[in-house]
Structure 1
Amino acid sequence: MNILFVASESAPFVKSGGLGEVIGSLPKQIKKKGADIRVILPKYGDIPEKFKNKMTTKTEFTIQLDWRNQYCGVQELQENGIHYYFIDNEFYFKRPGLYGYGDDGERFVYFNKAVLEAIPHLDFIPDIIHCHDWQSGLIPVCLKAQYADKPMYRNIKTIFTIHNLKYQGVFPKPLLKSLTDLDDSYFANDSLEFFDQANCMKGALIYSDVITTVSHTYAEEIQTSDCGEQLEGVIEKRKKDLYGILNGIDVKNYNPVTDPNVRVKYQNSLFNKRLNKERFQKQIGLPVNKDIPMIGMVSRLVEQKGYDLVAHVLDEILEMDIQLVILGTGEKKYELFFEDAAKRNSNKMVTIIKFDEVLARKIYSSSDMFLMPSLFEPCGIGQLLSYQYRAVPIVRETGGLKDTVKPYNQYSGEGTGFTFVNYNAHDMLFTIQRAVECYHNKEVWHSIINSIKKVNVSWDKPAREYISLYKQLVFVLN
């Protein structure tokens, strides 16, 4: 089978979060299962020169976008055994960062059209185009509307994966109509129309052959008004074509035995893990004491990640004999609040406002617990990484967090972390207090770590599930 991944970011080239992490690691496992998988991305200005210098030009052509003819170059390289293509247009992509520009609608319509127009030039006809999030959401629409009668495209199937339903790519209807050249019928209520605008995510949900999302629980949640982001009706209609497949992580890349950012290597040795904690405490200016439980948080500082809960009971959290380390960037109100709190509680708390991969790994390898009190979480990567580095997760039971963290049961001794159900600051506080209490009981803590050892967070099982879905699409539906 020939599989073409279409996404707006991917490690190791550029990533802003979990999407880039997934696109950087999943294709390697799918290739191991026997598929010919390739990935196509925008060629952003932020891609490091070491990668750009290895790219070669595959083809060049022009794309009709509204009244303009726009240049499109397709460059390619092989990295970590995967074949990558990059859509090259400096006007749209040679800028700092990936998203957040006023012309994002135009930029990603161009990207979608470029991907479809590039296919005859790739020496690679995909059986399936696997699209990820709204930035590639118009590909299933345009494929069915504008390419279905062309022999090269006739048998191509589409899969659309929702990584986060909150971000949908909503733009004015006249803009998307002029850019895509789709007729009026595609901007009706049963198509792209969305509260008198046009919605790229909605288009993908309607026109893709199959829809997946990144956990079983999230697949159920997005069919409800609580988590459906006003698309629950559309999703419910497609539920027979909707699959929840959990994310994994690259367990070779994230491994405390080989990670160069881990000073004292370890796998299951809590003694060595605590030596890392002592060194990290010294590095960031906290009191050096291996017996004080360290709680880590690494994420965007936004409401989705539960930072309002933490802010609400922060004083009570810091009354415990713990240390709290927060790393990330996000909404200014959270950045300022937690920076100020760290200054006032410098012997117990450190807040680092930046994204730093090295510091993130130091936090995972030094923390005894990892806090993720998310309002919603499609899958979550943090809790999977915390397992790898033997930091016990404390999470709210939502989405992928519910699917991956089994709550500790004091009677059976089973469980891989600590959980709470309601989105409530004091429920979270009580759960943290319980985790800290268990930390000081060596027998209990070792039991939890032993349970974590058995958790498989690799891409092996998810990749098998994707391959099964691909086979169903290619060999059953054709």
Structure 2
Amino acid sequence: MKVLFVTSEAYPFARVGGLSDVSYSLPKALRKIGVDVRVMMPKYGEIPNNYKNKMKHLKNFNVPVGWRNQYCGIEYIEYDGIPFYLIDNEYYFKRHGYYGYYDDGERFAFFSRAIPESIYYLDDFIPDIIHCNDWHTGIVPVLLKAHYRNSPVHSKIKTVFTIHNLKYQGIFGRQVIGDLLSLSDEYYDEQKLKYYDGISFMKGGIIYSDKVTTVSKSYADEIKSPFYGEGLHGLLQGIGNKLVGIVNGIDYEMYNPKTDKAIYNNYEIDSINEKLKNKIELQRELKLNIDFDIPLLGIVTRLTGQKGIDLITAVIEDILKLDVQIAVLGTGEKYFEDIFRYYSRIYPSRFSANIYFSDSMARKIYAASDMFLMPSLFEPCGISQLIAQRYGSLPIVRETGGLKDTVKPYNRYTGEGNGFSFANYNAHDMLNVIKYALDIFRDKGTWTKIIRQAMKKDSSWDSSALEYKNLYDNV
């Protein structure tokens, strides 16, 4: 089985969100079970030079982007046993950052057309499946069927399309159909690419791919409803078994408190007490009161409404009255950033607002915190709660999407559970669950038992990779 995994970002070359981790760790897990997966992504200007200098130029050719013929180079590098092909065009990709440009439609139309074109030049690698991810590559299945159906190189290739976040659809003007994609006006149709007055790359991926997956079973059900469906719920209801939910995992080598060099003190499930040293050192670094008995609540996230930050700010005074410490890491909407900065000035010994992002600081917070707050409005899967469990920080989440699938709320009567959760999107429901968790926290024996249950939970890619392999075998 040969799979070309196409993505707009992948660790360690380009990292914006959870897609980057998935684009590295899922291919890695699949290769371990015998699937020849290779990753293809843009060669961004911000890829570190230590990687660029190791890349080997394979081929270059021209790619049609509507009436344009654009240069395309293929660079190759192997990282951690995974072959990566990087699509090179400096006009489109040698820029600051990765997304958010006025011509993103053209940039990713080029990338999407470069993917099938590159297959002519990959020598011994003709994929059985092209696995596309999110809107940036959603148009690939459309182009394959429109422009390559008579090509003997492409005719047997199947496509899988994974929705990581339905909210971001790649919506562009009608003119993109002909001007960038070289498609006829017949594609501007409700049964094809039309989305209100424009077109949706995401919709193209859903309709034209052979299988559609999303990143948790609950999210696969949720997106069939108007609230979560972003205007595509009717389409998703109508594709039946073509839509499959497979929960994300995390890379257990990358996220391992026993070996993680970013944290202050290493530990594992049989030495949970060593975790406390991380708490003391983080309190010292963030200038919080040094006290291993006070519960430390970690928040590592984008500061946006989707992540439930409005719930936190609505009751932040009430939370701080509970005798807790809070460590926040992330950037986002200025309104939320300003509120967190304000409380860090008012309560400097108990509230630390770190309005930036750092992977090493994130790991320190996972390792040091007792609880990890993640009250998302919607969450296709979420990786942070899985990392928190791996590091023995008990997640407090809203029951939505992957959070519902991966966090089993603690039941004090049965002793089962690996975190805490609430159902309604309501700040006081969240506050009550925080109070419940704090009440359990006071019983150190019980708390340690729940930590052990969280750390024992298998959130690796092993079982999900097998599900993907089975999916590939049956496309």
C-alpha contact 1:302 1:331 (8 A) present in aligned 2: yes
- Whether the 8 Å contact between 1:328 and 1:354 is mirrored in structure 2 is yes
Q: CA deviation at 1:66?
A: 2.6
- Structure-2 separation of matches of 1:356 and 1:262: 12
> C-alpha deviations, 1:238-274, integer Å up to 9, x for none?
1211110010001111111100012221112332111
SS of aligned partner of 1:226: helix
The corresponding residue for 1:96 is 96
Matched residue, 2:119: 119
Give the SS at the match of 1:73. Answer: strand
Q: Is the 8 A contact 1:71 1:89 kept in 2?
A: yes
Residues of 2 paired with 1:353 and 1:159: CA distance?
A: 37
* Map 1:211-360 → 2, pairs under 5 A: 211-268=212-269, 269-360=271-362
Residue of structure 1 in register with 2:381 after alignment? 379
Q: Percent identity between the aligned chains? A: 51
Asked whether 1:152 is paired with 2:153, we answer yes
Q: 1:3 maps to what in 2? A: 3
Give, in whole Å, the separation in 2 of the partners of 1:10 and 1:321: 40
* Superposed CA offset, 1:301-347 (max 9, x none): 11110000000000000001110011011111111111112111111
Tell me by how many angstroms 1:145 deviates.
Answer: 1.1
Q: Find the residue that maps to 2:91 and give its secondary structure.
A: helix
The CA distance in 1 between the partners of 2:420 and 2:10, in whole Å, is 31
Asked if 1 retains the 8 angstrom alpha-carbon contact of 2:177 and 2:184, the reply is no
Q: Which residue of 2 aligns with 1:85?
A: 85
- The answer (yes or no) to whether the contact 2:138–2:202 under 8 Å persists in 1 is yes
Please give the alpha-carbon distance, in whole angstroms, between the structure 1 residues aligned to 2:166 and 2:14.
Answer: 21
Deviations 1:47-84 (A, max 9, x none): 00011001111111112223322111111111111110
Q: Counterparts of 1:24 and 1:155 in 2: how far apart (Å)? A: 26
Opposite residue 49 of structure 1, the aligned amino acid is N
**What one-letter code is carried by the residue in structure 2 that aligns with 1:297?**
I
Within a 5 Å distance, the mapping from 1:427-438 to structure 2 comes to 427-438=429-440
Moved over 3 A (4+): none
In structure 2, stretches of 5+ residues that fail to align are: none
C-alpha distance after superposition, 1:207-246 (max 9, x if no partner): 0000000000000000011100100011111121111001
Are the equivalent residues in 2 in contact too, given 1:105–1:176 (CA < 8 A)? no
2:458 corresponds to? 456
What's the secondary structure of 2:144's corresponding residue?
helix
How far, CA to CA, are the matches of 2:340 and 2:353 in structure 1?
6
Alpha-carbon distance, 1:370 to partner? 0.4
Hey, what's the Cα distance between the residues in 2 that align with 1:360 and 1:324? 13
Q: What one-letter code is carried by the residue in structure 2 that aligns with 1:335?
A: E
1:31 aligned onto 2:25: no
TM-score, length-scaled by structure 1: 0.98
| 1:187-226 paired onto structure 2 within 5 Å | 187-226=188-227
Aligned residue for 2:281, secondary structure, equals helix
Match of 2:441 in 1: 439
CA offset digits 1:149-197 (Å, max 9, x no partner): 1111000000000000000000001123210011111111110000010
The residue type equivalent to 2:349 in the other structure is: N
Unaligned runs of 5+ in 1: 474-478
Aligned 8 A contact 1:66 1:180 in 2: yes
How far the C-alpha of 1:375 sits from its partner, in A, is 0.2
Give 1:349 shift.
Answer: 0.3
> Counterpart amino acid of 2:228?
C
Q: Is 1:46 matched up with 2:70?
A: no
Correspondence for 1:470:
472
Partner Cα separation in structure 1 for residue 254 and residue 200 of structure 2? 36
Residues 363-415 of structure 1: CA distance to partner in whole angstroms, max 9, x if unpaired?
A: 00000000000000000001100011000000000000000000111111111
**1:476 match:** none
Secondary structure of 1:261's aligned partner: coil
Judge conservation of contact 2:177–2:187 (CA < 8 Å) in 1. Answer: no
3-state DSSP of counterpart to 2:73: strand
